[in-house]
Amino acid sequence: MEECIYFGEVTYSRLDQKTEHAVLPSFLVVCFLFLGRTPGGGVMRRLLCLAIVCSMAAPVSAVTLDGSTAGDGYTLAATQTLQTQFGDANPNGGSELDAAWAQVSGGTLYLTLTGNLENNFNKLNIFIDSIAGGENVITNNTGNGGNNPSNDGWAASYAGFTFDPGFAADFLMINRNGNFNGDRFDFDFNSVGNTSVVESSLDIFAGSQQGSNASVGASGIGVAFNNTNTAGVTGGSAALDAAGIAAAQAVQTGLELAIPLSAIGNPGLGDCIKISAMINNGDQNYLSNQFLGGLIGPPPSGDQGNLGGDGAGTFTGTVGQINLTSTYADGLQHFEVCIVPEPASIALVGLAMFGLVLGRGRKS
């Protein structure tokens, strides 16, 4: 533990990741040295102080914000169930959602949706249910009798849209890329059910359709996009077989987000964040068949094409008729990411308990 002497920095090993560093407040380092080195400090005091100090230090995340899951220690959260009817990225441009990968670390929700987003300003909409309240049935914007902001025109198109039972959207992230007065990637973040948060950020990669930006908007959300995937799901409307599922899970690139928990209402230990992701067209009025959690069409095949505006692929001018409890959307069209103690914290609690037991044993 000699590292505590130098600049208040302690090195420790996480159970599931490589060795990391945590910077400690100097008074805690002094506390550790005092308890650990004064006469009578003993093993118990050293262990207890180490547990207290390290548990209060925030580990540096191992995630690299680059639009890829490679080497980041993600956990699979959801897998696509269908081929894409919004164009296969191989050989031509298209939009697909292959899988969702997630982890919560250091007060941040890291979320990667692998796949592609066609550079024609198709929208990748990510609805988040993270706090009490929200909307299970989307209302219009406030200018048209509803509760929602009017950014990107999404609320007017979604008014009437119904999520799974138990899912009430609190926040929405809208992602799109293309070329309008130059290449760009735009990102919106707003509250749902009220207008307390409205952040519209244009050209976040400074003249590129792909890239990385560690802090977008007032909420400081990290966004990275890598659109190079040519594998994953193929074009069509068929339910994926085992090989298709494996191909979807093998894709490593796509949209990667680093979302401060403070931006989504500060969900805490033991809470589960629900996420529903879907690809819509550029005008937000024609839904694809690419959802996470994935759509499951009517039996026996489970096949399902684009939902359009009515679930049958018809253009109606809005998506307000879509109801995710209908036969074209069997199963759950959302997935959960639950906040659990990080492995290092669990280890330190165990270390502290060991110290207490050891100390009591010595007194007896």
- For the chain, the C-alpha Rg in angstroms (whole number) is 23
Task: Report whether pLDDT(356) > 80.
Answer: no
Tokens of 261: 């928990």
pLDDT band at 315 (very low <50, low <70, confident <90, very high): very high
Identify the weakest region by mean pLDDT among 57-61, 138-142, 309-313.
Answer: 57-61
CA distances 150 to 96, 144, 147, 187, Å, are 26, 9, 10, 15
Please give the average per-residue pLDDT across 203-229, as a whole number: 98
Task: Report whether pLDDT(25) > 90.
Answer: no
pLDDT at residue 235 in the model: 96
3-class DSSP assignment, residue 237: coil
**pLDDT averaged over every residue in the chain:** 85
What gap in Å lies between CA 152 and CA 168, rounded to an integer?
20
Tens-place pLDDT, residues 283-295: 999 999 999 999 9
pLDDT band at 26 (very low <50, low <70, confident <90, very high): very low
Task: Report whether pLDDT(360) > 60.
Answer: no
Beta strand 198-201 pairing with 221-225: unpaired
User: Could you tell me the sign of the dihedral formed by the alpha carbons of 221, 160, 282, 298, in that order?
Assistant: positive
Q: pTM, whole model, 2 decimals?
A: 0.81
182, burial (CB in 10 Å: exposed 0-12, middle 13-18, buried 19+): exposed
Task: Report whether pLDDT(80) > 50.
Answer: yes
pLDDT band at 90 (very low <50, low <70, confident <90, very high): confident
pLDDT at residue 62 in the model: 80
pLDDT > 90 fraction of the chain, expressed in percent and rounded: 73
| Of the candidates 306, 311, 315, 314, the residue with the CA atom closest to the CA atom of residue 324 | 311
* CB neighbour list of residue 198: distance below 8 Å, 6 or more residues apart: 149, 151, 190, 191
**Unique residue bearing structure tokens 């100390």:** 359
> What residue type is 337 in one-letter code?
V
Tens-place pLDDT, residues 101-127: 999 999 999 999 999 999 999 999 999
pLDDT at residue 33 in the model: 42
Q: Containing H/E element for 32?
A: helix 26-37
Tens-place pLDDT, residues 229-269: 999 999 999 999 999 999 999 999 999 999 999 999 999 99
SS3 content of the chain, % helix, strand, coil (to 5): 20, 30, 45
pLDDT band at 42 (very low <50, low <70, confident <90, very high): low
* CB neighbour list of residue 293: distance below 8 Å, 6 or more residues apart: 78, 81, 276, 331, 332, 333, 334, 335
